[in-house]
C-alpha cells in the first residue's frame, strides 16, 4: 500500500512528468495520422489540377462543349457532353435498377422480415456487395447482354450502355439497400406503435409513417448510389463498348463512352497515345470533372444523413 502512499499535508498534484510527456507523444502520433488523411485529399486535387490545366491550355476551350462531335482523343477531338451523356445514360439505367431493388429489399428487411429470415438474407445481400466490379463487367457481356438485353431488344449489339447500366445497377443495389435500411431501422419503434395503435395496417404504417420519417436517409442512399454509379469504371470499360473514342450517343442500346471508361482507355493505351500534345492530359481533366461531380453528390448525401442523425 505504501507504494502508492496516502497524501498528507502539503500536496504534490503535479503528477508524473514522464507519463505526461509520453501522453503528449502518443497524441502527436495519432494526430499525424489524421493530418495524413487531409494531405491525401490535397494530393488528389493537386495531382489532378496541374495537368488538367495543362490540358485546358492546349485545346480549344469552346470546342469542349459542342455536342455531337464525339470523343476521339487520338484525333484530338475532346467533347465533354459526349462522355457526360454516356455517364448519365449508364448511371441513369443503373439507378432505375438499383432504386426499386435496393429500396424494396431495404423495406422488406427492415419492416417485414422476421428476425431469423433477416439474419440469413441480409448477409447474402452484403456478400453481393463484395463482388468486384470487374466480375460484374464480365457478367454483363457474358450473361446480361445476351440473355436479358438482346432478348428484349434483339437489335442491340454485343456491347451497349443498357447492359453496362444494368450491371452498374446490380453493383450499387446492396449499397442503396444497406444505407436505406439503416435509416428505416433508426425510425423509433414508438412511431410504428402509435400508428398501429390507431388501427393502421402494416402497409399503411410502412408507407405513410416509417418511410416518410426515414426519407432523408433514403434520399442519401439514392444519392450515394448515384455517386458510386457515376464513378464506376470497370463495368463500363468492359461492357459499354467504346474502347477508344465514341460518337455522341443517347440510345442506350448502342455502345457509348462514359467519363470513367474514357479515362481507362487513356490509361491503358497511354503508351500508344503519341498524337496531339495534351491527349494524355485529358485523362486528368476528365478525372477532375468526375472528382467534383462525385464530391458534390457526396456532400449532398452527407447533408441528408446528418438530418437523420439530428432527428433521432
Within residues 200-259, the interface with other proteins by CB under 8 A covers 201-203, 206-207, 224, 227-228, 230-234, 237-238
Distance, CA of 190 to CA of 180 (rounded, Å): 19
> Least Å distance between CB 248 and other proteins?
22
- Distances, alpha carbon 234 to alpha carbons 39, 100, 277, in Å: 27, 23, 27
Using rule CB under 8 A, residue 40 touches other proteins? yes
CB 167 within 8 A of CB 181: no
The SS3 assignment for 7 reads coil
Cβ distance to other proteins smaller for residue 92 or 269: 269
The SS3 assignment for 156 reads coil
Question: Cell triple for residue 296?
Answer: 458534390
Among 96, 129, 152, 194, binds other proteins (CB under 8 A): 129
User: x/- string (CB under 8 A) for other proteins, residues 150-189?
Assistant: --------------------x--xx--x------------
Using rule CB under 8 A, residue 56 touches other proteins? no
> Least Å distance between CB 128 and other proteins?
5
Distance, CA of 71 to CA of 248 (rounded, Å): 8
Task: Tell which residue, 255, 85, 240, 105, has the closest CA to residue 165.
Answer: 240
> Least Å distance between CB 6 and other proteins?
6
Distance, CA of 170 to CA of 94 (rounded, Å): 7
- Which region, judged by CB under 8 A, interacts with other proteins, from 53-61, 101-109, 182-190, 214-222? 101-109
Among 34, 61, 190, 198, binds other proteins (CB under 8 A): 34
Cβ distance to other proteins smaller for residue 44 or 253: 44
Within 10 A of 38 (CB to CB), how many other CB atoms are there?
A: 9
> Least Å distance between CB 107 and other proteins?
5
Amino acid at each position: 500500500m505504501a507504494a502508492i502512499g496516502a497524501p498528507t499535508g502539503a500536496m504534490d498534484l503535479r503528477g508524473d512528468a514522464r507519463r505526461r510527456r509520453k501522453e503528449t507523444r502518443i497524441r502527436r502520433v495519432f494526430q499525424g495520422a489524421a493530418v495524413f488523411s487531409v494531405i491525401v485529399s490535397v494530393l488528389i486535387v493537386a495531382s489532378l489540377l496541374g495537368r488538367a490545366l495543362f490540358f485546358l491550355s492546349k485545346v480549344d476551350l469552346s470546342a469542349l462543349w459542342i455536342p455531337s462531335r464525339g470523343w476521339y482523343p487520338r484525333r484530338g477531338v475532346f467533347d465533354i457532353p459526349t462522355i457526360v451523356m454516356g455517364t448519365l445514360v449508364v448511371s441513369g439505367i443503373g439507378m432505375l435498377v438499383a432504386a426499386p431493388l435496393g429500396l424494396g429489399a431495404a423495406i422488406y428487411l427492415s419492416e417485414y422480415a422476421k428476425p431469423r429470415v433477416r439474419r440469413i438474407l441480409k448477409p447474402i445481400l452484403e456478400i453481393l456487395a463484395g463482388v468486384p466490379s470487374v466480375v460484374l463487367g464480365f457478367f454483363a457481356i457474358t450473361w446480361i447482354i445476351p440473355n436479358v438485353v438482346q432478348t428484349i431488344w434483339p437489335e442491340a449489339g454485343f456491347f451497349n450502355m443498357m447492359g453496362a447500366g444494368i450491371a452498374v445497377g446490380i453493383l450499387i443495389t446492396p449499397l442503396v439497400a444497406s444505407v436505406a435500411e439503416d435509416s428505416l431501422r433508426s425510425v423509433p419503434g414508438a412511431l410504428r406503435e402509435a400508428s398501429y395503435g390507431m388501427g393502421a395496417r402494416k402497409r399503411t404504417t410502412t408507407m405513410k409513417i416509417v418511410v416518410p420519417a426515414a426519407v432523408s436517409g433514403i434520399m442519401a442512399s439514392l444519392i450515394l448510389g448515384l455517386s458510386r454509379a457515376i464513378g464506376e469504371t470497370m463495368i463500363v470499360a468492359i461492357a459499354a463498348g467504346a474502347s477508344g473514342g465514341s460518337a455522341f450517343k443517347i440510345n442506350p442500346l448502342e455502345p457509348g463512352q462514359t467519363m470513367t471508361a474514357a479515362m481507362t482507355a487513356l490509361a491503358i493505351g497511354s503508351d500508344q497515345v503519341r498524337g496531339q500534345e495534351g491527349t494524355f492530359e485529358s485523362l486528368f481533366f476528365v478525372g477532375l470533372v468526375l472528382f467534383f461531380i462525385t464530391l458534390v453528390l457526396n456532400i449532398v448525401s452527407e447533408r441528408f444523413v446528418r438530418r437523420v442523425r439530428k432527428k433521432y
